[in-house]
Amino acid sequence: MLTLALPRRSDWPFLALVVACGVGGQALAHTPLAGRWGLGALALALLVGLVVAQPLPAPWRQRARPAVALFKGPVLKTAIVLYGLRIPLDAVAQLGPAVWMLDAAQILVSLLLAGWLGPRLFGMPRHAALLIGAGNGICGAAAVLAAEPVLRGRDRDGAMAVAAVVVFGTLNMLLLPVLFRHWPTLFGDPAAFALFTGATVQEVAQVLVAAQAMSPALVDTALLVKMARVMMLAPALMLLAVAVRGGTDAGEAGPRLPVPPFALWFVLAMVVNGLGLIPDALRPALAGVDDLLLTLAMAGLGLSTHLGLLRQAGWRPLALGALLWASILAVAGTALAAGWVT
């Protein structure tokens, strides 16, 4: 289920800060400059939050964490579930088995390369490298957090992995719309570019931002491909558990390896939409609420990102993250260019 913790009174100023960044992003989206650059409200809310976060003193950032986490977590997941009410079921059928195979290949390549390159090329502990591989190949920071108990890594390793994944996920999110604007038929047609986006961008939220910046018509495809990767989190973690510890002893309780609940709610929302259970008169209101929640979630994501993470992580995790990012771009690009996925 989607859980929502009630904010404390001390959180209200920071909740207001997130809302202000979201409103600022919405306002900027209506300017001529935003239109010229193809920047929507989601991307601008994230960028406003990112800019505002940099000069904040460390104690303020610490106090803002609960408020920001509310928007990055429950609010974002609720918004993604609501987005499922917009996606027709036949869009899932159109993905086809080749897309699922591509997503599985992305995850496998990212994990195998991380486990091999991390220790050999960069002298990193294997479990720390695999955390970066999980975040890069599956679903960003959420995958890192889910993999930590499986790999039994240190908190510092998890923080470094999140930093590496966030850096290259953000670059991916910002660069792909620019590439699309200049070369929309790079992979054959815009729909294939949306598929590439969903198969390569690290975070669900980043996929939404990138796809909307390309064209609102491409969001459905990009998000469906990404959610397929999210739903592979559980089997990927099971493989990690077997690879790292050779399986779980009979007398030892294994780690809990669920599919993220919001992914299941997302699927249920698509089913509800496909069955025609949403009155047409209610759809505009639901879409408006969803757009608002997405914008606020992006503002929270921006406020949670501080460039000091780069200094804390050091060069080794970032170098590994760069190679893993290049690997998933290469796998997806090759599959689309060769016509293996359409």
Q: DSSP characters for 192-260?
A: HHHHHHHHH-SSHHHHHHHHHHH-GGGHHHHHHHHHHHHTTHHHHHHHHHHHHHSS--TTSPPPP-PPP
The C-alpha atoms of residue 202 and residue 218 are separated, in whole angstroms, by: 17
Q: What pLDDT is attached to residue 225?
A: 93
Q: What pLDDT is attached to residue 256?
A: 52
Radius of gyration in angstroms for the set of CA atoms belonging to the chain, rounded to a whole number:
19
Q: What pLDDT is attached to residue 247?
A: 46
Q: What pLDDT is attached to residue 83?
A: 85
The C-alpha atoms of residue 97 and residue 211 are separated, in whole angstroms, by: 22
Q: Which residues of the chain have pLDDT under 50?
A: 1-2, 247-254, 257
The C-alpha atoms of residue 123 and residue 311 are separated, in whole angstroms, by: 18
CB contact set of 215 (below 8 Å; sequence gap of 6+): 190
The token duo for 299 is 């503002």
The token duo for 46 is 């994230």
Distance (Å) of CA 265 to CA 79, 145, 243, 253, 330? 11, 20, 30, 27, 32
Q: Where are the domains of the chain?
A: 11-337
CB–CB of 181/213 below 8 Å? Answer: no
Q: What pLDDT is attached to residue 260?
A: 67
Whole-structure pTM value? 0.77
